[in-house]
Structure 1
């Protein structure tokens, strides 16, 4: 499932193939109207950016998606909300499941892992915000379970994990690394300078495969080292990019 680049209304996105009838991509800093330090496509409304700029940036993503954008208030937990044409205010949650083309579901990130899931045959998609706490809390398991409740089969589901802080960059105390690795062993890592670290993307891939998801695409870009992406670890108070998925 190689990366591709798709454009709509001149918005550059990194598209991923999650099956027929599914539109999915990860945004970057490019293509928006926010002024520095949020330039340009900041989608986060709680980082100090001008509300009018954020609203226009979101409209641009909606034009690309072809449907209204639904995002939850992310709290690093494991709550999943199923979104339909009527339910567009999910409140606090870290995963959204959709079974209708009337909406595009999205998660906002700036180092955490944005995960997009789709069972194209069952017409079920999900967007999941996976940080360290959410990974340990079981947000991926909860999302896959919620998709199954909506008719999806993990064995048919495709997954894409977007850009996130890499294990070579995500330094943490040794005790924290050990605590997370006790739950998800694949997260144990070492930074490029030799200190304890966490590899969240590797943890995401391992958990999804354990859940029976056979195809997990890893974007591989390190937000900490990639200036085209937002990174809270690199610059506190920065903006947010998104993972977006929609049935079409």
Structure 2
């Protein structure tokens, strides 16, 4: 099956993509393009999937730069292909031929580019990382490599949408302690439950940071099991594990 790759005109002409689960070699709960080495999927099958992504990005598998993601606000700068994975939640490079990759299964994959300066970035932005400043830290790291945030574009890929993201009052309290104005990213749900707008919050943080352009592709990972893996959906279904989607960008 052919890979399905979602792209954005805002990031063109750079080679990039938010890969769906279509076109992969995995089976069972991982059916499709599971690119997560940290999953319990067969390692050799994950390698096959990642090789297909590398081919689509026109790089070798070794040039797929990735991270040991920990929901932090830490950014790693990459200047050469490397198989080691730094503990961080965003990557930045000004080196052609390296594909920056992020793995997600509900969190926001965010691809950045200042095409004029030749600097790109990729961030894994869950609620914790977004609240702690991973998006702003990515822009700072890009500027250190010569980018201008006014010339930078960021696109949020498939992520869990507000209608599917139910949270409790303790979650809400964390945001209120940071800024009471963040209440606008919550809607009332059943009982004491609330619905959190993760992509809306991500767009707000990007725009408040002075980025030139920011958008969300509009795809919800939870609502479309044919195309996307979802951690939350897997929990609700009582599944033992879940696949990881990959997003990538290169100069």
* Structure 1 residues 85-125: Cα deviation after superposition (integer angstroms, max 9, x where no partner): 25552421100001112210010000000000000000000
Corresponding position of 1:189: 186
Unmatched 5+ stretches in structure 2:
236-240
How many Å separate the matches in 1 of 2:223 and 2:2? 25
Match of 1:155 among 142, 150, 156: 150
Aligned in 2, Cα 1:188/1:174: closer, same or farther, shift over 3 Å? farther
How many Å separate the matches in 1 of 2:231 and 2:141? 30
Alignment of 1:124-143 (within 5 A): 124-143=119-138
RMSD, aligned α-carbons: 1.8
User: SS at the partner of 2:246?
Assistant: strand
How many Å separate the matches in 2 of 1:191 and 1:229? 26
Corresponding position of 2:209: 211
Corresponding position of 2:233: 234
Whether 1:23 aligns to 2:15 is: yes
The two structures have a TM-score, normalised by structure 1, of: 0.90
How many Å separate the matches in 2 of 1:156 and 1:13? 25
User: SS at the partner of 1:197?
Assistant: strand
Cα drift, residue 216 of structure 1: 1.1
How many Å separate the matches in 1 of 2:23 and 2:187? 34
Unmatched 5+ stretches in structure 1:
1-8
Match of 2:220 among 205, 219, 222: 222
Whether 1:53 aligns to 2:48 is: no
The two structures have a TM-score, normalised by structure 2, of: 0.89
Cα drift, residue 19 of structure 1: 4.2
Answer yes or no: is the 8 Å Cα contact 2:109–2:124 preserved in 1.
yes
Q: Which has the higher helix share?
A: 2
Whether 1:200 aligns to 2:198 is: yes
